[in-house]
Amino acid sequence: MELNRNALLRSAARAANRVGVTPVERASLTRAVQRIGDPGGAAALRKAVDGKVVLVTGASSGIGRATAVQLGAAGAVLLLVARSEDLLDDVCREVAADGGVAHAYPCDLVDLDAVDALVKEVQETHGRVDIVVNNAGLSIRRKVKHSADRFHDFERPMALNYFAAIRLVTGVLPGMVARRSGQVINISSWAVQVRPSRFSGYTASKAALEAWSDCVQGEVLDDGVVFTNVRMPLVRTPMIAPTKIYRRIPALTPDEAAAVVCSAVVNRPRRVSPLASRFISIAEAMSPSAGDRIRKNAV
């Protein structure tokens, strides 16, 4: 068993290096995208979303914007949510230029009353929400010792990444259940599996959303509703821009990440995870101390 465990740890370390868990220069983004999941193709995506009402949060930039553009081109009716009305209008124009349909819904998602008002408005206007993409998120990279007097380092990620998401989903879920059709896609993170140091607040909020979604999936298992947790690796978005070390680390482009989301819409899996984080989670299960050594060096 010890020999097998050591071999597994070496494989996990090599896989992590290849997709950029640690700051190595020779990571291959092409392999990372292929391992996460291939897009289902234009025809399959159009079949999956044509005429469907898809709500995307955090749609003004990054993964959310790229996802909106790709889904809009495939025929989805898009409800785009973010704080900035001007940026949302830009995305709507980009979607329309490709022949798609998009509607802007400015909303501060950490304001739960505003989320309730959003749900009421979109249901009255559009009649339903077929797919939710919980993409809006906040990440904080900071050691716990530096957060001793900054409890909001834990409150803020939970407010947006967890409470806002479940408030939104609980608002539209009854309609999905009544129609016996729907999907909730959570843009999670491979941090849920790797649990890297310095990201305790962010990782905990994403893990909470995954755990909540898994529990609710059991309740709606026979109602045609699927919860999909997409555990993204590093993606080159405005969210990671303040962290200088990430400029040296390979990352997916927003378009590549959006292709992963579109693949999840087509195939409706329960989970999508990079191969490297799956290796690391197996290593963690076999030896927690080995997992500690991996996460100590994760960025």
pLDDT score for 7: 46
Name residue 252's beta-bridge partners.
235
pLDDT score for 14: 45
Could you read off the pLDDT of 263-298 as tens digits, one per residue? 999 999 999 987 666 666 666 667 777 666 766 665
Nearest-10 crossing angle of helices 29-36, 2-19 = 110
Q: Which of 119 and 234 is assigned the larger pLDDT? A: 119
Could you read off the pLDDT of 220-263 as tens digits, one per residue? 999 999 999 999 887 887 766 666 666 666 778 999 999 999 99
Quick check: 123 pLDDT over 70? yes
The band of 152, judged by pLDDT with boundaries at 50, 70 and 90, is confident
Q: Which of 105, 162, 202, 246 is catalytic?
A: 202
Structure tokens at 194: 């790797």
Rounded to two decimals, the pTM is 0.81
In sequence order, which residues have a C-beta less than 8 Å from that of residue 275 and are 6 or more positions away? 15, 19, 35
Element (H, E) at 227: strand 225-232
CA dihedral sign of residues 120, 123, 129, 135: negative
The band of 184, judged by pLDDT with boundaries at 50, 70 and 90, is very high
For the chain, give the percent of residues with pLDDT over 90.
57
In sequence order, which residues have a C-beta less than 8 Å from that of residue 4 and are 6 or more positions away? none
pLDDT score for 251: 73
105 has catalytic annotation: no
Q: What is the average per-residue pLDDT within 41-67?
A: 95
Instruction: Give the architecture-level CATH label for domain 36-275.
Output: 3-Layer(aba) Sandwich (3.40)
Element (H, E) at 271: strand 271-272
Where exactly are the structural domains of the chain?
Answer: 36-275
DSSP 158: I
Cα–Cα distance for residue pair 268/226, rounded to 1 Å: 7
- 53 φ/ψ angles, rounded to the nearest 5 degrees: -95, 115
